[in-house]
Amino acid sequence: MKILYAASEALPYASTGGLADVVGSLPQAVKKELGEGADVRVVIPLYPTIRRKFAEEIEMVCELNVKLAWRNQYCGIWQTQANGVTFYFIDNEYYFNRSALYGSFDDAERFAYFGKAILELMSAVEFYPDVLHANDWQTAPAVIYLKRKYAHLSAYQNIKTLFTIHNIDYQGIYDFSILGDIFELAEWDRSVVEYNGCINLLKGAIVCSDMVSTVSGRYADEILTEYYASGLHHILRANQDKLCGIVNGIDVDYYSAEADPEIAENFTAEDLSGKAACKAELEDVCGFPHAPNTPILAMVSRLASHKGFDLVTRVIEEILTETNLRFVLLGTGEFELEDFFTKLEDRFPGRVCIKLEYNKSLSKKFYAGADMFLMPSKSEPCGLAQMIASRYGTVPIVRETGGLYDTIHAYNEYDGSGNGFSFTNYNAHDMKNTVEYAVSLYMEKKDVWAELLKNVMKVDFSWSVSAKKYIDIYTKLQ
Ligand code: GLC
């Protein structure tokens, strides 16, 4: 079986969020499962940081030109190997030598080019996959072009597509004036990408792909409804027969309290003693005096309101006033939120620490050092942080949505089951009550908390189950 994953980011090469975790670990898990029977490859753009950090590892395969409407653009193809998976990097400095991965005025053109380059790569390296597994709107053009422009070519006609939606809020919406000039689509392609009077790349990929998946079963149900679908529920309902949800796994070797070299001391579910050193280290990082019995609540998140910050900003002061909780936050994002939390830190010295950074290594210290991990998302397609926190014995507190609903089950005080805390409604005081309930258990029932930590750490969040589900889809598509 030949599979080509296409995405705009993949760990360890380039990352702005959970997509990179998935594209950096699912292909390896599939390869591991299928062994010699599979040829698994991945393609992402060659961003300047990759060229700098991985200069020794990547090598050029070939150079070609890629046409995009009237343009004739350079395309270098570079590659490396990781755990039996080939990673390709598309090199074009004009498009990808930017300080940020996204957010340029010409993102439409950058990712239209990337879409074309993915298809041209197949013939350049003579790798025509059985399945092109594309991810998010940045790779939607590849799916659309395959169906509308390449499918009549014999080498391409048997390629099937799976398109995965990692977050439906990001759709790639553009004005129709660039349909031909940038996207190189014809008038007869208009209806394929048209939604609400605009070009909508996500919609185009949903329509053009053979199967559509999203990253949890619950989110697959949710996006059929208006509340969650960011306007695309009609399209998803019309394509419901090809939609499914598969919850993400995480790389359990990379995120491992037992083996992680980046945390103060390793520990396991059976012997949690090392966690105290991790907590002390986090306190040092935050400039807090050591207080082993004072609970720390952490968030590691993009600062975007849909991650639940509406709720946090509403009640965090009440929580800090009514409990002894310490609050630590790592992430960057919306200016208003950065501003709010900077001021909060000033008002609660020694109890609140805000690090406005995207820093993977520092995040490990947050995951391992905290006692509780808050993820009150308004919507959460899958969410990885709740699983990562669990791997480090930090108890997730989540809103019951998307992958949070699928992966975290509320602690039940009658039978001791559950691996976290949860609340149903997107309501600030429901969240506050849940946090305060967790704090009271932590403070007053040490034995119960210790049992809960075991439940939390023992859940299997590896890729093994989900990789098999993807393989089932690839097999059916073939
Ligand atoms: C997006 C989603 C997140 C998911 C990740 C990986 O970032 O917002 O919920 O875990 O993609 O699929």
pLDDT in tens, 396-450: 999 999 999 999 999 999 999 999 999 999 999 999 999 999 999 999 999 999 9
Mean pLDDT value of segment 175-190? 97
Report which ligand 1 atom has the smallest distance to the Cα of 248: 12
Residue 247 and residue 402: Cα distance in Å, rounded? Answer: 9
- Of 476, 437, 280, the closest CA to residue 368 belongs to 280
How far is the centre of ligand 1, averaged over its atoms, from the C-alpha of 457 (Å)? 21
pLDDT at 4 (0 to 100) = 98
Mean pLDDT value of segment 305-331? 97
- Is the CB of 215 within 6 Å of ligand 1? yes
Q: 326-330 and 296-300 as β-strands: parallel, antiparallel, unpaired?
A: parallel
Residue 237 and residue 223: Cα distance in Å, rounded? Answer: 9
How far is the centre of ligand 1, averaged over its atoms, from the C-alpha of 295 (Å)? 28
CB of 91 closer than 8 Å to CB of 79: no
pLDDT at 420 (0 to 100) = 98
Among protein residues, the one with the nearest Cα to ligand 1's atom 1 is 166
pLDDT at 338 (0 to 100) = 98
How far is the centre of ligand 1, averaged over its atoms, from the C-alpha of 214 (Å)? 9
- Is the CB of 295 within 6 Å of ligand 1? no
Q: What are phi and psi of 221, to 5 degrees?
A: -75, -45
Among protein residues, the one with the nearest Cα to ligand 1's atom 5 is 18
Mean pLDDT value of segment 223-244? 98
- Is the CB of 401 within 6 Å of ligand 1? no
Q: Could you give the percent of the chain with pLDDT greater than 70? A: 100
Give the sign of the dihedral formed by CA 419, CA 424, CA 426, CA 431: negative
User: Per residue in 37-83, pLDDT tens?
Assistant: 899 999 999 999 999 999 999 999 999 999 999 999 999 999 999 99
Among protein residues, the one with the nearest Cα to ligand 1's atom 11 is 166
Among protein residues, the one with the nearest Cα to ligand 1's atom 3 is 383
- Of 78, 176, 159, 67, the closest CA to residue 113 belongs to 67
pLDDT at 410 (0 to 100) = 97
pLDDT at 328 (0 to 100) = 98
- Is the CB of 208 within 6 Å of ligand 1? no
- Of 146, 127, 107, 148, the closest CA to residue 43 belongs to 127
Mean pLDDT value of segment 168-176? 97
Q: At 348, is the pLDDT very low, low, confident or very high (cuts 50, 70, 90)?
A: very high
